[in-house]
Structure 1
Amino acid sequence: MQVNIHNAKTNLSKLIEAAKAGEDVIIAKGKTPVARIVAIPQNKFTIGLLKDKVAGNGPDFFEPMSEDELAVWEGEA
């Protein structure tokens, strides 16, 4: 759909909903297209997504490294 700037100002909410529904929304100055309204994909982030799917405990990052691990980390191994 192509609308002029005045109609875009008046119906911005409706144009945003149309873009979210997948419609191509073009704003024109006169008959010349100058802008496009594009919906941003909304990713749903779920906290605890891997809860009960990961077995065991992870590493304890506050424990000191062993001498061998420290040597590898420092590039001595």
Structure 2
Amino acid sequence: MHTVNIHEAKTHLSRLVDQAARGESFVIAKAGKPLVKVVPLSVPGAGQAKRLGFLVGQITVPDDFDRMGAQEIESLFGGAE
């Protein structure tokens, strides 16, 4: 991992970001003192993103799910008891 000073980082930011995205992390320093480490983000590759429905067949939702607790809610908000 190499170290660049702030001025060099500002001058070559695009190139440095491309390198970091390829896995070549680097450190930005000020007056020789390391300040930050630039590393690539861990992003899932194409086709690896999590999708809705990953629990299909493993759980069940009751048919009255949208009406569950309706009486209690009505009584809490001054509805007919």
Q: TM class by shorter-chain length?
A: 0.5 to 0.7
Q: Partner of 1:5 in structure 2? A: 6
CA-to-partner distance for each residue in 1:11-54, whole Å, 9 max, x for gaps? 11111111111112100001110011111012142769x8xxx8
* Separation of aligned partners in 1, 2:35 and 2:50: 38
User: 1:23 is matched by which residue type in structure 2?
Assistant: E
Q: Partner of 1:67 in structure 2? A: none
2:25–2:40 CA contact under 8 A, matched in 1? no
The 5-angstrom pairing of residues 1-77 of structure 1 reads 1-43=2-44, 44-45=48-49
In the alignment of these two chains, the number of paired residues is 64
User: 1:20 is matched by which residue type in structure 2?
Assistant: A
Q: Partner of 2:74 in structure 1? A: none
For structure 2, which runs of at least 5 residues remain unmatched after alignment?
67-81
C-alpha RMSD of matched pairs (Å):
2.8
Show structure 1 runs of 4+ deviating over 3 A. none
Q: Partner of 2:70 in structure 1? A: none
For structure 1, which runs of at least 5 residues remain unmatched after alignment?
63-77
